[in-house]
Amino acid sequence: MYNNELKFSLWCDFVERSFLENEFSSLIEKKIVNAATSNPSIFKAAFLGSPAYAHSKALVQGQAPKAIYEALAIEDIQKAASLLLDSYQKGDDGFISIEVDPFLCDDANATIEEGQRLFKTIGYPNVMIKVPATEAGFVAMEALLSQGIHVNATLIFSEKQTKGCLEAFKRANDTLKEKGSQTFPSAVISIFVSRFDRKLDEKLAAIDFPTGRVGIMNALRCYDVIEAEGLPNVRALFASTGVKGESLRADYYIQELLVKNAINTAPLNTIHAFVMAEEVKPIEYTPEMIENFFNALAANEINLQGVCDELIEEGLHAFKEAFVEILNELK
- What amino acid is encoded at 125 in this protein? P
C-alpha distances in Å from residue 114, one per residue of 60, 111, 239: 20, 5, 23
What's the start-to-end Cα distance of the chain, in Å? 41
Distance CA 297, CA 304 (A): 8
Question: Cβ distance 71 to 89 under 8 Å?
Answer: no
Distance CA 8, CA 34 (A): 10
Query: Whats the size of the chain, residue-wise?
Result: 331
Question: Cβ distance 131 to 153 under 8 Å?
Answer: yes
The active-site residue out of 7, 30, 120, 130 is 130
**Largest Cα–Cα distance of the chain, in whole Å?**
59
179 among known catalytic residues: no
Buried b (16+ CB within 10 A) or exposed e, 104-121: bbebbebbbebbbebbee
The residues that are catalytic are: 130
